[in-house]
């Protein structure tokens, strides 16, 4: 599989939904496979909160592959023998695209809290501008899970002529107060940590000394990504062997897992990107600037497929079902399908239970 | 209704499950109604994590009534015209019974982190010793929700001759890794707050300056007590009117609610009590010291009624159902009943959806 990693720089201003401007900005993106001569084989893959443009393949020296390596590749559900796949790191993120720790032109100092609030619409708009520069004006499909699914929906509504097919997994049309509450705890834990220094932290220093608030926040995120069943299977009530049951700080294995993954988070993700992207998720509402969900979905001109997971406790299946039902209600039943995958894994199923849904993606992409 | 509030002091050591000793200790408790001549009308009500002995009635000058005022009182489900109700503040708590901020005899300084880890068994044992001193050797019923339900189950297993009836609401026989994970985030947020000072905080000072870690922890608790549906009904996606949608720290109403209740928590609950009681909850397992749930439930000699709430996301209905099914399996089907209340309120239903379950409690108590 041919993989390329590229950066594009833009000096034209990006006009944001908030009325603010991002100027200049850069987007890092990765491609898999080859663009065919009539540019009809493009598939856009959109990443989630902590994801990146690195969706597939394994970098030299890395233990881990891209976040959807099991889905994107030669002979896989998104078959790179057939399709040319693009995954763009979103603005606001910390893997190479312009985000809060990027220099604030003309200064060489980072934006930090002066970075503008971005929305899913802004994130998608930047991708459309990038594709335009690459000479790509149409895609076969846009696909994403979680926040990636929000982007797919946004493509379908705001750029109805861009892609033939849209696939949302484990996502929603408007973030619920329940999901906002999880983000609240995570954001609160972060900003109240004195080491966050109101956004003036030293990025190198926090990697060395730790940033407990971000760790705690990440732990809270993990709860929302998993489920009672997946935790029961993974950890049960196993207790850390070297800890005492009657020690106040003795730990269950599930606690050790949260500690490890929470504390490690600061090593690979930026605290301010975390704040800005969770904000974008919180304020995502596909009905904004429309009268209703019916009204916004009435803009959709092509296929919108919805794949939910029965045990997703962050974005409930019924939220996806509502999109499907609304599409049917407004006479677009031929453009929509709803698939609920039975899974105990919770929200994370779209990253781990590949075998359960990959064939659906394959079928949707191959259908004429 | 006659209400008394009393403190009993014990100089005999309380031998704890951990092998440690609590000596001396005090228990504060409240009673409602009057003890009949043959002492056959006693009902023990057990409180949850942040509850207290103040289950019913309203203190002079207080806006709020006791935590189960709608259930306990004259003519109510637990009818104080008929029953003599006792509610004991558990050891480890902060409302008058001995806890981590009590003086560590013979010093006048508080235990703080030298307080021993306590278990649900210890909490129940202390109550049994108190009842013994009061000349109460039998109860008509023991009732509790959440951690109170754990106590009721513990009474049934460890003191099978004490009460005729046991009612558990919104509880479990062993805390799941899912519930432990919620407690983990809360505990972690608290202990990593520099103002916690490794347990050496000044109780007056933290009330003035705030203890953000405890606030964040409480917010995480709220998520587990509520549900997606109850949050949708209560808050929807309403945004705080004076906040800007595109301000990074602009808030949804659900966030304001969490802020308010989180920050207020330090004014009425002690951080170390929070740590010790969540520990007791985490390590609760009615199977400990037994071979299995069947084995522990085989000790039960009287009625065990289980009331769960369909949307309880902290202690799932199926956990309560398992107790019922195991009781049936070991031939105690005549001693057990399982009732699942349909509710959108989540775990908190046992405190708010009184109308939906009060008649069941009344029936159970009145059955011969």
Residue A282 Rama label (left phi>0; alpha psi -120 to 50; beta): alpha
| A166 catalytically annotated | no
Taking the CB of residue A241, how many other CB atoms lie within 10 A of it? 6
Q: Which of B17, B185, B228 sits opposite A185 (nearest CB)?
A: B185
ipTM: 0.96
List, as own/partner pairs, every contact residues A65-73 make where C-beta atoms lie below 8 angstroms and the sequence separation is at least 24, other chains included. A66/A30, A67/A351, A68/A351, A70/A354, A70/A358, A71/A354, A71/A358, A71/A361, A72/A32, A72/A45, A73/A1, A73/A32
E-strand stretches of chain A: 3-10, 14-15, 21-22, 25-32, 42-46, 72-73, 78-79, 84-88, 139-145, 163-169, 303-309, 336-341
pLDDT recorded at residue A266:
96
Residue where the block lists tokens 């559900």: A77
Q: What CA–CA distances, in Å, run from B79 to B33, B70, B85, B283, B366?
A: 8, 11, 9, 34, 10
Taking the CB of residue B283, how many other CB atoms lie within 10 A of it? 23
Question: Does the CB of B228 have a partner CB in chain A at under 8 Å?
Answer: yes
Whether the bond into A106 is cis, omega within 30 of 0 = yes
Is A179-279 CATH 3.40.50.720? no
CA B102/CA B25 separation, integer angstroms: 9
Q: Decide: B92 and B16 in contact? Cβ < 8 Å.
A: no
Question: Does the CB of B313 have a partner CB in chain A at under 8 Å?
Answer: yes
Chain B residues inside the 8 Å CB shell of A275: 248
Question: Does the CB of B292 have a partner CB in chain A at under 8 Å?
Answer: no
pLDDT recorded at residue A198:
97
Encode pLDDT of B320-368 as tens digits. 999 999 999 999 999 999 999 999 999 999 999 999 999 999 999 999 8
Encode pLDDT of A212-234 as tens digits. 999 999 999 999 999 999 999 99
CB contact under 8 A, B282 and A252: yes
How confident is chain B (368 residues) per 10-residue block, as mean pLDDT?
97 97 97 97 98 96 95 98 98 98 96 98 98 98 98 98 98 98 98 97 95 97 95 97 97 98 97 98 97 98 98 97 98 97 96 97 95
Give A357 to chain B, closest Cα distance, Å: 25
pLDDT recorded at residue A368:
80
Stretch(es) of chain B classified as CATH 1.10.1740.110: 179-279
pLDDT recorded at residue B368:
80
Question: Does the CB of B260 have a partner CB in chain A at under 8 Å?
Answer: no
Question: Does the CB of A194 have a partner CB in chain B at under 8 Å?
Answer: yes
Catalytic residue among A312, A324, A343, A348: A312
% of chain A residues with pLDDT over 90: 100
Q: What CA–CA distances, in Å, run from B355 to B71, B227, B359, B365?
A: 9, 19, 7, 16
| B224 catalytically annotated | no
Give A179 to chain B, closest Cα distance, Å: 8
pTM of the model: 0.97
Which residues, given as ranges, of chain A have pLDDT below 70? none
Architecture of domain A3-175+285-366: 3-Layer(aba) Sandwich (3.40)
Q: Which of A184, A223, A313 sits opposite B182 (nearest CB)?
A: A223
Architecture of domain B3-175+286-366: 3-Layer(aba) Sandwich (3.40)
């Amino acid at each position: 599989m041919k993989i390329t990693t590229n950066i594009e720089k833009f000096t034209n201003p990006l006009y944001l939904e908030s009325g603010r401007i991002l100027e200049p900005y850069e987007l890092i993106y990765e491609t898999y496979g080859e663009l065919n001569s009539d540019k009809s084989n493009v598939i856009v893959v959109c990443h989630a909160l902590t994801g990146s443009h690195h969706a597939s393949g394994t970098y030299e020296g890395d233990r881990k592959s891209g976040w959807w390596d099991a889905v994107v590749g030669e002979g896989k559900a998104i078959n790179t023998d057939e399709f040319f796949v693009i995954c763009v790191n979103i603005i606001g993120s910390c893997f190479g695209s312009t985000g809060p720790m990027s220099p604030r032109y003309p200064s060489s100092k980072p934006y930090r809290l002066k970075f503008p609030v971005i929305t899913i619409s802004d994130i998608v708009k930047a991708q459309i501008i990038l594709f335009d520069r690459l000479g790509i004006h149409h895609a076969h499909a846009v696909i994403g899970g979680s926040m990636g699914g929000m982007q797919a929906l946004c493509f379908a509504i705001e750029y109805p002529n861009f892609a033939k097919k849209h696939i949302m997994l484990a996502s929603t049309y408007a973030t619920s107060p329940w999901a906002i509450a999880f983000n609240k705890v995570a954001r609160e834990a972060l900003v109240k940590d004195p080491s966050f220094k109101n956004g003036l932290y030293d990025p190198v220093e926090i990697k060395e000394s730790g940033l407990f608030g971000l760790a705690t926040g990440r732990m809270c995120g993990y709860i929302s990504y998993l489920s009672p069943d997946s935790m029961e299977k993974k950890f049960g009530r196993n207790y850390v062997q070297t800890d005492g049951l009657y020690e106040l700080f003795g730990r269950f294995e599930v606690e050790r897992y949260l500690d490890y993954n929470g504390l490690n988070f600061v090593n690979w993700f930026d605290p301010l990107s975390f704040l800005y992207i969770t904000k974008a998720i919180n304020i995502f509402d596909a009905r904004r600037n429309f009268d209703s969900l019916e009204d916004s979905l009435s803009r959709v001109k092509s296929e919108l497929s919805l794949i939910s997971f029965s045990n997703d406790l962050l974005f409930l299946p019924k939220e996806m079902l509502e999109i499907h039902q609304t599409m049917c209600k407004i006479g677009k039943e031929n453009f929509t399908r709803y698939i609920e995958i039975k899974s105990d894994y919770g929200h994370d199923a779209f990253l781990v239970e590949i075998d359960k849904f990959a064939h659906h993606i394959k079928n949707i992409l191959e259908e004429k």
